[in-house]
Amino acid sequence: MSEYGLQLREKQKAKFIYGVLEKPFRNYYEKADRMKGMTGENLMIMLERRLDNVIFRLAFARTRREARQIVDHKQVTVNGKLVNIPSYLVKAGDVIEIRENKKDSVRYKEIIETAGGRLIPAWLDVDQENLKGTVKALPTREEIDVPVNEMLIVELYSK
């Protein structure tokens, strides 16, 4: 496969894993490029900080798509405020919680049964009984276990 083909495959893999379309993904790249530090690491950290991904990481959803739907359906609060934007970027210290009136639903009991054993990243703190999680710190690239070579994405976009 050509070098371009490898780069394109890595970009498509990252877009698929996080469920991001082309235009928003390009915007994340451009924002990451303007930030200090390594562009590829900044890109992965921004994708990891998306609210739908954080809901998935906290094991409040079985998949990222389900997490996106949970956020879309106004079932999530961030620091006590209702947020229904899956691309919302969480910050260190944010408290993410499933709304009170949804906590007793059968859906969340099933999710906790199936996803409850999932390993929670070190940058998040979770209270599964109360369906509440805290962002202790922003993730570092070492804490992100997504099998994507972000340097190939940077090479693709920097042409």
Classify domain 3-139+149-157 by CATH architecture.
Roll (3.10)
Region 41-49: what's the mean pLDDT?
94
Q: Which two tokens stand for residue 49?
A: 């900080």
Closest to 149 measured CA to CA, from 8, 48, 53, 22? 8
- The model carries a pTM of 0.91
**Whole-number pLDDT of residue 153:** 94
Report the distance separating Cα 72 and Cα 109, nearest Å.
20
Which secondary structure element, helix H or strand E, spans residue 114, and what is its range? helix 106-115
What average pLDDT is seen over the chain? 92
- Write down the domain spans for the chain: 3-139+149-157
CA–CA separation, 129 vs 150, rounded Å?
36
pLDDT for res 119: 87
Q: Taking a C-beta distance cutoff of 8 angstroms, is the pair 25, 14 a contact? A: yes
Is the pLDDT reported for residue 126 higher than 80? yes
Per-residue model confidence (pLDDT) at position 130:
87
Q: What is the rounded distance in angstroms from the CA atom of residue 27 to the CA atom of residue 117? A: 34
